[in-house]
Amino acid sequence: MYVSPLREPLIKGKKDYATVTREITKPMAGKPGKYWYLGITLAIIAALSGGIATFLTIWYGIGTWGLNKTIGWGWGITNFVWWVGIGHAGTFISAILLLFRQKWRTSINRSAEAMTLMAIACAGFFPLIHMGRLLLGFFIFPYPNTRDVWVNFNSPLLWDVFAITTYFLVSLLFWYVGLIPDIGTIRDRATKKVKKFIYGLLSFGWTGSARHWSRHESLSLILAGLAAPLVLSVHSIVSMDFATSVIPGWHTTIFPPYFVAGAIFSGFAMVLTLLIVARKAMNLEDYITVGHIESMNKIIIATGSIVGVAYLTELFVAWYSGVEYEQYAFLNRATGPYWWAYWIMMTCNVITPQLFWFRKLRRNLVFTFIVSIFINIGMWFERFVIVVTSLHRDYLPSSWSMYSPSIVEIGLFVGTLGVFFTLFLIFIRVFPVIAISEIKSVLKSSGEKEKTTK
Amino acid sequence: MEKKYYKSIEEYIPKNGSSEIKKLIRDKKEDESVLTSPSNRRDFLKLFGFAIASAAVATSCEQPVRKAIPYLVKPDSITPGKANYYASTYFDGNDYCSILVKVRDGRPIKIEGNTLSSVTKGGTSARVQASVLNLYDTARYRTPMVSGKESGWETVDSEVISKLQTIKEKDGAIVLLTPTVISPSTLAVIEEFKKTYPTTKHIQYDAISMNAIPLANKKTFGKEVVPSYHFDKAKLVVSFGADFLGSWLMPVEFTKQYAAGRKLDEGQKEMSQHIQLEAGMSLTGSNADKRILLKNSQQKITLANLYNKLAKAEGAQQINTPASPVDVGGLAQRLLKAKGKSLVVCGANDQESQTLVNGINYLLGNYGTTIDLYTPLNLKKGNDAEMAILINQLNNGEVSGLILCGVNPVYDYYDGKNFLSGIKNTELSVSIADLKNETAEECTFLCPGHHYLEAWNDSEIKPGYYSLSQPAIRSIFNTRAVQENLLNWAGNKTDYLSFIKAQWEKNIYPASGFAGSFYEFWNKSLHDGVFEKPKTVNSTVTFNGNSIASIQVADLDANQVEVELYENVAIGDGRNANNPWLQELPDPVSKVTWDNYISMSASLAGEKGLMEGSLVKIDNTLTLPVLIQPGQEHKTISIALGYGRAKAGKVAEGVGANGYLLSHFNGETLEFNKTGVQLDMAEGEYEFAMTQTHHSMEGRAIIRETSLAEYLENPASGNEMHKKIEEHHISLYKEREFKGHHWGMAVDLNSCIGCNACVVACSAENNVPIVGKEQVKLAREMHWIRIDRYYSGDTENPEVVRQPVMCQHCDNAPCENVCPVGATTNSKEGVNQMAYNRCIGTRYCNNNCPYKVRRFNFMDYTKADAIPANTYDPAGMTVDLKRMVLNPDVVVRAKGVIEKCSLCIQRIQEKKLDAKLENRMLKDGEIKPACAQACPADAIVFGDLNDENSKISKFFKDERNYHLLEELHTLPSVGYLTKVRNKEA
């Protein structure tokens, strides 16, 4: 296939298939470095602090949090939405970009999908732990019972249950199906018996036969077809937790698209945060090139601009609606006691990504890394602004109140960050961070070597 | 032939039946072989499984031991699951109320108003509602004590009697110190005691004294009494700092009258006008049509000027006085216009001020119409001068025996320290008290008294208005009635019940004109709780003009800061400070719970460089935090009495500071106002536990109000938007229809004065948990009904509006559709219900409730949670003793579930079943939720919206009716009637 010589190669260096395999599996071989140990120790400590916070929450109740009679959701739901949003990049990359035949996705899809899984696991934790009676949480499943009770299908929270579990299962399947050929490769390269046996089991007897490849490809496409609508539906449903309510600042029809754009926006930011570090630490600069970073930055400009427009639309509609409660809710966001959260959100999500219009900046790794952190923070604050500032001053001023998180809530958030990074650090040790087989499939068409020989 | 059913196969099969069937029946031999054969694998597994399962069950699920002992012989009057009501009377020396006691399974659990009383007419107050919890207070004295050691009644009796005898023999003085006694039988007991010990002197002492009123009446009319007042007959009420709706004399009676004079719901076209001149914002002042800021120290000058204006108009003699700080010309004119239909009252405990008030009312011809001197209130008989003398005598060693009955001067007398040293000077000090207190702890003999719900008593609140108290439970502890102690020590062995009966038979029955026997008379009075035979009154009064002429009014330095000590709605004089229901009750004005504080105007705080929460030391006596109070007079600070208890039990101790220390005796009466106080900033900052922190309505149409003039022109004034919104109620969905009942509630905002009686009643009825100061600071109070209070207008002297808010029971409820498990649903009768067992605590309903009436159990407040050792119970409400007050008809909610107002569904159900059993329709007004029952202003109406003729339907059709946030189309079943103010045009 002809590729324009102007087009940047997706894989740098003159590599053959063997080099690719060797280089990508290299971080998995031998003992991990000291930074890996340092990282996982910190991550596990963070995860354990989350464990203590979880225990306190279950034992003493939600009273260990900073919530009150007016504000029923705080950091818990903020974190939930944030983590779900982060997960969206992985699915977007692996499903939508696959369907649109974007070759550059092959370098990043594996790690992005892994991130999706871990993020959904962290996200799923919050709706559970924020329940007042976690031990009776199984009530949310529509299981047959003798008590003649049934779940309420009108409730967006119930939709959430289905959306999140579906999303997790499809993502897991997709990720794992993609892993199978690579697990086969690792199995074949393993020298130790135990390792060979375990990877042998995990590879489901992959032999690399044409029939296997054919089935693998068609299953991948089917799963991509399934996952693609999930990119749009999951966060739409999460947004309905708010949009179907009567609370000013929540009751907004723009929420589904606005949330989906925001989710992809924040997801790409998290992918960038992780990969800019990972490519350096794992010597994968040839595979995850500046070109890849730039492509992701372009998506960030696009989604970031959608988010920005959505923010402004909300303000406009609040004014245009003529509803005093709606108008006050948005005035209060920008100028009320939580004005700082609103302006952190505005700065991080609307202003900073616009700097990526400059090619130099979007190809600057340090700058991109800083902006990606900004976006992570900004998108967390977006959810905080939506959840807390809408609730703390709603209809009756007599019930207005303030919220600040307790140490337990902070512990839970830190705990999920700890779990996320622990899992990610384990992931990079046991599975190839880049999809070897998929890279090979684009090596000839988009690798540097092929082009120069042409 | 009759069909025959066989019982077993053997029976069915004929003896010579086919062998095939017989084979099916295992023969005996085979059975034996099974029994004797060694067990096989199957059996082993079965037994193994059973053993494991039973061992697991037996060891893992420890069954708590629950004691439920059935009656061996069931008492006639008790049906398990049915409550009994006994008429009784609440009187604690300060508040009077005729009540019904609800008793379930032998335990008093709720107080309700007694509608048969023509004095309190079924009304109650927060304190009366809360009094049932004192019965189960862990700080009650449980057994007699001598010098701090537990003892028995025999020891105490013999020692006290022998000491009394010694004192009697050497003619030593004995003083019997009680609060105001309104019980004729108790007075007779005291007479008996005096007969045996003739050197006894009975002194009555009121912690919050009103001695000035009887003194002034003695001076002007020669009658040392507190008169009755008729606020309902007054077209114009002018109050100089008298908080008659909250704490002054008879707030329950006055609220009934006041509300009656201001109702507009049944086509009334008139309502009274209320003008309040006061320094601190009181409950009464916040309800006034016009509120004028006036220092307490300037009341006398203002009254004198007002008197002069009226005297001039009436041609009476004027007195010398400096000019009034506020213009009284308009006030005088208005009063003159309402001659004979006006009422001027004054809260100061200052004889000359009260004399001037008498003069004013006399000039206005209010005696005989709005003031009744001939049917006086038997309240506030405390004599301040006698008390002052007593303290001197005690310290001079002139008193040998001191018997204290239900008084606590060590705490609530300004000179408590000297009273304490005086107690130590006596040979015999006895305290009869039910609740732990500072004074009883210091007496040699401590005789635990009954709680009023354990005791017999009678009272005569006004001449001829009798009421009875009867025990609703056998005494829980080793306690004895005050009267029985005194009778016993006087050598009279009769029990108090027989004594009362004898008294009634001798004194009341003959004059009663009752047709039946005394037995019948007694039973009827006991059943009704009251017996009323007003004595015929002589309505002419003779006024002693000299009393006014002698008054000297001096000019005062207006620049000094003065402190006003007041009685708040919840804690009162402090005797009930250990009651967590009252401590957690938000103040009707400031919305602060669990504290007293310095109410200060923003201007004074600015002058002194203070902020809300700054700690200030007053006169080097007590340190309290500052609360910026809108409507506070610039140079006056106000402090609630009753706080700062040192020895009162877990709940009260450490809450606030003792304001009594700032009161003083002026040679005639106790004064609760002090000018020229010094304020010093103290270290530290303080955070209040407030239930409402935002005070503006933000221009929203939450409480709709209008003025009387506008209302008369257009009954829908202030509420014009209601019709408009109703017209715009268009929905894609079919509106729900309610066949049968459709319950609704309406609140007349014009009647509601914000007294909080409903809040306590609701807590008692529905087992609402107490969360404590720290949780209230976190905004987690659990009250199912709250009273929102907003300020409007002038920040120096704002207008106040109030609105009780409970679950609105929306027909289109936002909370219902968001619950993932369907734990909250709308009943067939329009009640929004909570299934606590189904709730998993997502709190989505709470977020989505526009009225924010849902309450979440953040902690295990009730000890109902399955996880051990996680109870959060700062007020000790989960101890077995206090749990006796729980209403068995209402589930105690565990940690992690949402709860809220149920419209007292248990009461609805009870009355429905009653009607069904009696095969009749429910009557309108038969069902009364706890809040509506408790309301002294009859502001809350409950009933069936499907019943065209019900009161609630009439309210809903009233043009003043609107629904809270009705534009949201939540279709609430609760309505509000607009507030109408009688402002001058």
| pLDDT tens digits, one per residue of B88-112 | 999 988 889 999 999 998 899 999 9
- Nearest alpha-carbon partner for A244 in A232, A230, A259: A259
The pLDDT score that the predictor gives to residue A335 is: 94
Residue in chain A lying closest to B969 (CA): A246
Is the whole model's pTM more than 0.80, yes or no? yes
Q: Decide if B700 and A324 are in contact by the 8 Å CB cutoff.
A: yes
pLDDT band at A452 (very low <50, low <70, confident <90, very high): very low
Number of helical (H) and strand (E) elements in chain B, helices listed first:
33, 42
A67/B858 touch (CB, cutoff 8 Å), yes or no = yes
What digits encode the pLDDT tens for the residues A31-81? 888 899 999 999 999 999 999 999 999 999 999 999 999 999 999 999 999
Alpha helices in B396-489, H assignment, sequence order: 409-412, 416-425, 482-489
Q: Could you say which residues from 803 to 862 on chain B have a Cβ atom under 8 Å away from some Cβ of chain A?
A: 805, 814, 817-822, 838-844, 846-848, 850-852, 854-860
My answer on whether B780 and B822 are in the same domain is yes
**B816, A127 contact by CB (below 8 A):** no
Q: How far apart are CA B408 and CA B652, in angstroms?
A: 15
The reply to whether residue A62 touches residue B840, judged by beta carbons under 8 angstroms, is: no
Strand order in the sheet with B399-405: B149-150, B145-146, B445-448, B428-433, B399-405, B173-178, B200-204
Q: What percent of chain B has pLDDT over 90?
A: 75
pLDDT digit string, tens, across residues A390-425: 999 999 999 999 999 999 999 999 999 999 999 999
Predicted local distance difference test score (pLDDT) of residue B1 = 52
Q: Who among A62, A130, A396 is closest to B852 (CB)?
A: A396
In contact, B254 and B262? CB cutoff 8 Å: no
pLDDT tens string A98-138: 888 888 888 888 888 999 999 999 999 999 999 999 999 99
Q: Is the pLDDT of residue A142 over 50?
A: yes
**What whole-number percentage of chain A has pLDDT above 70?**
98
Residue A247 pLDDT > 90, yes or no? yes
Q: Do B851 and B956 belong to one domain?
A: yes
CB B226 within 8 A of CB B249: yes
Name the percent of chain A lying above pLDDT 90. Answer: 69
Question: The domain that contains B654 carries what CATH number?
Answer: 2.40.40.20
Mutate which: B785, B843, B893, vs A, most A CBs within 10 A: B843
Q: What is the pLDDT of residues B657-685, one digit of tens each?
A: 999 999 999 889 999 999 989 999 998 89
Q: Quote the tokens at residue B821.
A: 């498990």
Select the residue from B790, B847, B971 to test the A interface by mutation, using most A Cβ atoms within 10 A. B847
Predicted confidence at residue B74, as pLDDT, reads 79
Give the CATH number, domain containing residue B386: 3.40.50.740
Residue A394 to residue B852, Cβ atoms within 8 A: yes
Mutual angle of helices A34-60 and A109-129, in 10-degree steps: 20
Categorize the per-residue pLDDT at B470 as very low, low, confident or very high, splitting at 50, 70 and 90: very high
Domain boundary among B376, B404, B424: B376
Interchain contact, A247 vs B790, CB within 8 Å = no
Query: What pLDDT, on the 0 to 100 scale, is given for residue B550?
Result: 84
Q: What is the dihedral of CA B960, B961, B967, B972, to 10 degrees?
A: 170
Compute the distance between CA of residue B113 and CA of residue B87 in angstroms, rounded to an integer.
9
Which residue is closest to A151 within chain B, CA to CA?
A: B821
In this predicted structure, the answer to whether residue B124 has a pLDDT above a threshold of 60 is yes
The 10s digit of each residue's pLDDT in B566-605 is 999 999 999 999 999 999 999 999 999 999 999 999 999 9
Rg (CA), chain A: 23
pLDDT in tens, B944-959: 999 999 999 999 999 9
Q: Are B742 and B945 in contact (CB under 8 A)?
A: yes
B898 shares its domain with B929: yes
More confident residue, B17 or B680: B680
List pLDDT tens digits, range B131-157.
999 999 999 999 999 998 999 999 999
How many Å apart are CA B244 and CA B227, to the nearest integer?
14
Instruction: Report how far Cα B331 is from the mean position of its chain's Cα atoms.
Output: 34
Residues B698, A397: C-beta atoms closer than 8 Å: yes
Q: Using CA atoms, how far apart are residues B33 and B30, in angstroms rounded to an integer?
A: 5
- The parent domain of residue B493 ranges over 145-209+382-513
To the nearest whole number, what is the mean pLDDT of chain B? 90
Determine the longest span between alpha carbons in chain A, in angstroms.
76
Q: Are strands B173-178 and B200-204 parallel, antiparallel or unpaired?
A: parallel
Q: Are A291 and A447 in contact (CB under 8 A)?
A: no
What part of B 17-76 touches A (C-beta under 8 Å)?
A: none
Q: Which helix (H) or strand (E) holds A297?
A: helix A290-321
B825 and B960 share a domain?
A: yes
Cβ neighbours for B912, distance < 8 A, ≥ 6 positions apart: B922
The answer on B949 and B821 residing in a single domain is yes
* Nearest of B368, A284, B144, B724 to residue A293 by alpha carbon: A284
* Residue B964 within any structural domain of the chain: yes
Give B-chain residues touching A66 at CB under 8 angstroms: 778
Yes or no, beta carbons of A401 and B693 under 8 Å apart: yes
Chain B residues in contact with A155 by the CB 8 A cut-off are 817-820, 822, 844
Residue A2 pLDDT level (bands cut at 50, 70, 90): low
B893 and B822 in a single domain? The answer is: yes
pLDDT score, position B63: 61
Task: Give SS3 for B626.
Answer: strand
Confidence of residue B68 (pLDDT cuts 50, 70, 90): confident
State residue B543's pLDDT score: 85
B240 and B159 in a common domain: no
Cα A234 from Cα B625, distance rounded (Å): 52
What is the mean pLDDT of the segment spanning B23-29? 50
Of A58, A71, A132, the CB nearest to B840: A132
Which residue out of A396, A401, A407 would a mutagenesis test of the B interface target, given it has the greatest number of B Cβ atoms within 10 Å?
A396
The answer to the question of residue B868 being in a domain is yes
Task: Name the residue facing B840 among A67, A68, A136 (closest C-beta).
Answer: A136
Is B896 close to A161, i.e. CB distance below 8 A?
Answer: no
pLDDT for B24 beyond 60: no
Burial (0-12, 13-18, 19+ Cβ within 10 Å), B604: buried
If you ran DSSP here, which 8-state letter would residue B618 be given?
A: E
pLDDT at residue B35, as a whole number: 56
CATH number at residue B866: 3.30.70.20
B308-366: per-residue pLDDT in tens? 999 999 888 888 888 888 999 999 999 999 998 999 999 999 999 999 999 999 999 99
Give me the mean pLDDT over the B377-404 stretch: 91
Q: For residue B34, is pLDDT > 70?
A: no
Residue B680 lies in a domain: yes
B699 burial class (0-12, 13-18, 19+ CB within 10 angstroms)? exposed
| Three-class HEC string of B180-243 | CCCCHHHHHHHHHHHHHCCCEEEEECCCCCCCHHHHHHHHHHCCCCEEEECHHHCCEEEEECCC
Q: With beta carbons under 8 A apart, name residues in chain B contacting A151.
A: 820-822
Q: Does B216 lie in the same domain as B204?
A: no
Contact B821 A62 (CB under 8 A): no
Contact B780 A69 (CB under 8 A): yes
pLDDT band at A453 (very low <50, low <70, confident <90, very high): very low
Q: Does residue B520 form part of some domain?
A: no
Q: What DSSP state is assigned to residue B587?
A: P
Per-residue pLDDT tens digits for B866-897: 888 899 999 999 999 999 999 999 999 999 99
Distance, in Å, from the CA atom of B62 to the CA atom of A255, rounded to the nearest integer, reads 51
Residues in B closer than 8 angstroms to A399, CB to CB, are: 692, 852
Nearest CA in chain B to A139: B821
* Block residue for tokens 């000035």: B212
Helix, strand, coil percentages for chain B (3-state, nearest 5) = 30, 20, 50
Instruction: Enumerate the β-bridge partners of residue B273.
Output: B236
- Cβ separation of B852 and A328 shorter than 8 Å? no
The predicted model gives B444-452 an average pLDDT of 93
Inter-chain touch B848–A63, beta carbons under 8 Å: no
Question: Tell me, what's the pLDDT at B15?
Answer: 56
Residue B67 counted as domain residue: no
On whether residue B109 sits in a domain, the answer given is no
Q: What is the ipTM of this complex?
A: 0.93
Task: Locate the DSSP E strands across B793-831.
Answer: 799-805, 824-826
Interface subset of B 686-705, CB within 8 angstroms of A: 692-700, 702
- CA-CA distance, B353 to B166, in Å (whole number)? 46
Question: What's the 3-state SS for B846-864?
Answer: HHHCCCCCCEECCCECCCC
Tokens of residue B178, six digits: 């009680």
Work out the number of other CB atoms within 10 angstroms of the CB of residue B798.
18
pLDDT given for residue B965 in this prediction: 93
Instruction: Give the pLDDT confidence of A147-199 residue by residue, as tens digits.
Output: 888 999 999 999 999 999 999 999 999 999 999 999 999 999 888 899 999 99
Q: What share of chain A is helix, strand, coil (3-state, %, to 5)?
A: 75, 0, 25
A132, A155, A328 ranked by CB distance to B841: nearest: A132
pLDDT of residue A13: 79
Q: With CB atoms and an 8 Å threshold, state whether A69 touches B781.
A: yes
- Domain identity same for B419 and B361: no
Phi-psi region of B295 (alpha: psi -120 to 50; beta: other; left: phi over 0): beta
Residues B268 and B197 reside in one and the same domain: no
- Give the CATH number, domain containing residue B230: 3.40.228.10
Residues B345 and B408 grouped into a single domain: no
Interface A-B: count of C-beta contacts within 8 A = 176
Interface of B with A in 738-797 (CB under 8 A): 775, 778-781, 786, 788-790
Residue B59 in this model has a pLDDT that exceeds 70: no
| Cα B337 to Cα B728: distance, rounded to the nearest angstrom | 46
Question: Closest to B851 (Cβ–Cβ): which among A58, A155, A396?
Answer: A396
DSSP states of A53-89: HHHHHHHH-GGGSS--SS---SHHHHHHHHHHHHHHH
Q: For A389, which residue in chain B has the nearest alpha carbon?
A: B847
Query: What pLDDT was estimated at residue B32?
Result: 55
Closest Cβ–Cβ partner in A68, A72, A156 for B778: A68
Of A132, A161, A391, the CB nearest to B896: A132
Provide the shortest C-alpha distance from residue A230 to chain B (in Å): 21
- Asked if the Cβ–Cβ distance from B814 to A245 is below 8 Å, we say yes
Together in a domain, B32 and B180: no
- Amino acid found at A70: T
Q: Give A9 to chain B, closest Cα distance, Å.
A: 51
Residue B21 has pLDDT above 60, yes or no: no
Q: How many domains does chain B have?
A: 5
Query: Is B534 within the bounds of a domain?
Result: no
What span, in angstroms and rounded, lies between the C-alpha atoms of A145 and B507? 70
- For residue B47, tell me if it sits in a domain: yes
